[in-house]
Structure 1
């Protein structure tokens, strides 16, 4: 008789296992409960078969019966607040398996599967209360503390380490893509500049330092634009604007307003002549009463004050008499505000720098197939290690620099009955998982009806006279 092929992650049978494997993730996402079967036996057998694949697929049927207990630990509050909810007794079917050491190691995220947790225990990498235990079926009691070797945990939760040939092949593919990028930048610099900005917006964590530097420069430009706007807006006061018009220094921002400026200047000529006569009379009156140099200095001050007073008086009187001046000020303010908004929008977007192509690193040469990972030293601008892909430290048995394996967050559900310390790879088994109204502490991907049918299957086939749970 041929030996049965053991394929735990078959994509056709779609059995959900207690594992972080990517194939198991696919089976869990595509698993669909079958239609109600014809007989009750087939329904119970199907529920037992599916739930057993997750809760201890490496155990025999006899071991399952040994762990099964008819009594189920639950907690019923004396006073229920809010709507009454049913206690999910069926989810407590496999509570006896949660007391096993291999299950506890897997629930604590110290192994990627229950099978791997059992392998760590058999190799002597797990200690319970400071004593090395080599039995995966060791039953934990409330208060027991267990620990796993940190090297084993890094290996279990880290990305798989590639071989030297795979690493060289992947590194050469990265170098080829980098060389193509350099060629495209030299061929179309402006297009690649815009594309690089889009990529930086997508990967802000990777470019955090560059984004901070660009943010400081952008803030300085915005402050400068605001200061220029305030200065130009202050120059649009009626008195300042009339002075510039009469001196011929004002140039409107719209060419069609030149005729309006000329009209304002023609209307201001009589006021200008009157101000000059006032200044001459004030000067003659003060010079007649002054005899000393000190008095002449005072007379000059009085002349300036008289001139400023007369200019301000004439400017204010002419301002109220010139509706053209109001039109000019409003149009200039509108143009100034539009320019201010355009400058702010331009300051928020980086300016194209045609010299960035000259700052790009040169193209890289491909690695030979027999390259030594110890002696390889790459000059990749996006790699700080300078080593082969995943082999920055070839002595380690996991992907270096260490990074978490894929799809671990899919199963990241912390248990209620275990207190975990990830810094030291220690955990404390607080108590057996219990059920409360509307909640069960057993972690399972199946619904309540599946567990209830599995319970009915094992309650009829359980071993009698087993000791009760503590």
Structure 2
């Protein structure tokens, strides 16, 4: 049986607008024009409503079943009248209640030089207002997820709390005053730049064709390395917990375990640099490539050793320095050799560098080393700024997103939060203040379609055929 083709959410030939921050969806939104449904005489009223319903349902909760939405649909459209507080203080407001709608219609002066058009209240844009009460849609509107589907994924996997309790139901209807909170790591993953597989390759400017043509390790070997790294990190994190002293015994408590995270980071950094040299540098000799492959094979058990409870940074670093010494990359470009030789001492401040690695670094430096006293005022300010940025936004290879964190591409056009939500980005929480309402000239339900298209969809769900 042939495997079923996966459904594509974003297409360019026959585009459908989605609740997503995808660049393809942004392009479809940019080129979206008025569908002009009902302008042709060959379309029946039923066909107009059917077409409008299809366009709107592709955007408003396309991951929700139609029968579930029909249960949420309400003929009641909430709206408010704009009232000037100063005017209401000077008058009793009786004239505002006269006539139909929000006030009595006044005759327009057609003899004036400029006749302002009448502003209506777009009630029809409130057709999908009940959809905004759903928890997953509210998370997407609060900019805690890059799509409504991703928000639903966060809810199902227990990343969201409502009023302090974990809520696993994406269809939960929020009430005015409800507060929901999303796991900060999930929000950083959703709104941050993705973590590229070849992070070092991207920094060194390697293109896809060069990576394919260059010699590289098999994919299965990289997956095994990632699995070993995750297992080593999990073992190390579990071993960092120190048991409490039993008051009924006289045994001395165990000494605190050494922090092996910088050492593991140094090993992974060196592994990335070795792979980048193999992929980028064509002038590396065959013997040097063989040494690099041998280093990659020896780095795997060393990474596992760094994750054990009995490991110490000094032992692991000595073996790592000996491995770096055996690389013998004198024929390789100086920048790659310096990065490979300097990765371990830079990431492990608790252990001194060996003479071999120190000589390798000194041979590739341009000029003698400078101390902090030799820096001028501008250089010292720049150094302080870099240190502050590193403290506030550190690099952590264990995170599933790119670190240091930076916002994902094409995010700014979607940076919009409705007025019925009060969002605090620092703690990744928001409060559902009230239900969306329509005002004179505007409606609070975000939609890419106009009132005429929404009116046809509203008539479809009224079931008046």
Partner of 2:411: 408
Q: 1:372 to 1:45 in 2, by over 3 A?
A: farther
Question: Alpha carbons of 1:370 and 1:455: their partners in 2 closer, same or farther (altered >3 Å)?
Answer: farther
Q: Which has the higher contact order (CA 8 A, sep 6+)?
A: 1
The answer (yes or no) to whether the contact 1:14–1:28 under 8 Å persists in 2 is no
**For residue 431 of structure 1, what is the aligned residue in structure 2?**
434
Q: Which structure's residues are more often helix, by fraction?
A: 1
1:151 maps to 2:185: yes
Is the Cα–Cα contact under 8 Å of residues 373 and 391 in structure 1 kept in the other structure? no
Change (3 A) 1:366 1:417: same
Q: Secondary structure at the match of 1:406?
A: coil
Which stretches in structure 1 are left out of the alignment for 5+ residues? 176-362, 463-470
Q: Is the 8 A contact 2:194 2:401 kept in 1?
A: yes
Equivalent residues of 1:65, 1:461 under 8 A apart: no
Partner of 1:170: 202
Cα distance in 2 for partners of 1:455, 1:368 equals 66
Q: Residues 391 and 399 of structure 1 are in contact (CA less than 8 Å); yes or no, is this contact kept in structure 2?
A: no
Partner residue, 2:150: 116
- Superposed, which structure 2 residues align to 1:376-387 within 5 Å? none
Q: What's the CA shift string for 1:290-333, capped at 9, x where partnerless? A: xxxxxxxxxxxxxxxxxxxxxxxxxxxxxxxxxxxxxxxxxxxx
- Report the CA distance between 1:90 and its aligned residue: 0.7
The residue number in structure 1 matching 2:296 is: none
Deviation for aligned residue 1:3: 4.3
SS in 1 for 2:399: coil
Cα separation, 1, equivalents of 2:344 and 2:127: 53
Distance 1:128 1:391, change over 3 A: closer
Change (3 A) 1:34 1:91: closer
Report if the CA contact (8 A) 1:108-1:418 is conserved: yes
SS of match in other structure, 1:419: strand
Are 2:54 and 1:49 aligned? yes
Aligned partners of 1:26 and 1:391: how far apart in 2? 33
**SS at the partner of 2:129?**
coil
Residue correspondences, number: 271
Structure 1 residue 61: Cα displacement: 1.2
Summarize the Cα distance change of 1:117–1:173 in structure 2 as closer, same or farther, 3 Å threshold.
same
* Aligned CA-pair RMSD: 3.7
Partner of 2:22: 21
Change (3 A) 1:75 1:444: same
User: Separation in 2 of the partners of 1:128 and 1:45?
Assistant: 36
Shift of 1:52: 0.8
Q: Distance in 1 between matches of 2:155 and 2:337?
A: 41
State the Cα distance separating 1:142 from its structure 2 match. 0.6
1:458 maps onto 2:461 in alignment = yes
Q: Structure 1 pair 367/459, CA: closer, same or farther in 2 (3 Å)?
A: farther
Structure 1 residues 58 and 374, CA gap change in structure 2 (3 angstroms) = farther
Task: Specify the alignment match of 1:395 in structure 2.
Answer: 398
> How far apart, CA to CA, are the structure 2 residues paired with 1:427 and 1:108?
7
Partner of 1:103: 137
TM-score (norm 1): 0.52
**Whole-Å Cα distance in 1 between the matches of residues 177 and 428 of structure 2?**
16
Give the conservation status (yes or no) of the 8 Å contact 1:122–1:136: yes
Q: How does 1:68-79 map to 2 (within 5 A)?
A: 68-77=73-82, 79=96
Structure 1 residues 373 and 393: CA distance shift in structure 2, 3 A: farther
Aligned equivalents of 1:46 and 1:25: distance in 2? 22
Superposed counterparts of 1:181-192, under 5 Å: none
What secondary structure, in the 3-state scheme, does the structure 2 residue paired with 1:365 have? Answer: helix
Distance change >3 Å, CA 376–CA 442, structure 1 → 2 = same
Q: Call closer, same or farther: CA 1:76–1:13 in 2, change over 3 Å.
A: same
- CA deviation after TM superposition for structure 1 residue 364, in Å: 4.5
> Cα–Cα, structure 1 residues 439 and 32, in superposed 2: closer, same or farther, change >3 Å?
closer
2:11 alignment partner in structure 1: 10
- Tell me, what secondary structure is at the counterpart of 1:66? helix
- Mapping 1:351-370, distance limit 5 Å: 364-366=334-336
Aligned pairs (5 A) from 1:125-136: 125-136=159-170
| CA distance in 1: counterparts of 2:343 and 2:9, whole angstroms | 35
Partner of 1:444: 447
Q: Does structure 1 retain, via aligned residues, the 8 Å contact 2:193–2:409?
A: yes
Gaps of 5+ in 2: 83-92, 97-101, 104-115, 208-332, 348-360, 367-378
Q: 1:174 to 1:122 in 2, by over 3 A?
A: same
CA distance in 1, matches of 2:199, 2:341: 10
**Deviation, structure 1 residue 404:** 0.5
Q: Distance in 2 between matches of 1:370 and 1:43?
A: 65
Q: Is the 8 A contact 1:172 1:366 kept in 2?
A: no
CA distance 1:458–1:369, change in 2 (3 Å): farther
Q: Tell me how far apart the structure 2 counterparts of residues 21 and 367 of structure 1 sit (CA, whole Å).
A: 39
Cα distance change of structure 1 residues 129 and 48 upon mapping to structure 2, 3 Å threshold: same
Distance 1:57 1:89 in 2: 22
Instruction: Indicate how the Cα distance of structure 1 residues 367 and 140 shifts in structure 2: closer, same or farther if over 3 A, else same.
Output: farther
- Once the two structures are superposed, residues 33-54 of structure 1 have per-residue CA deviations (whole angstroms, 9 ceiling, x without a partner) of 4454531233222211111111
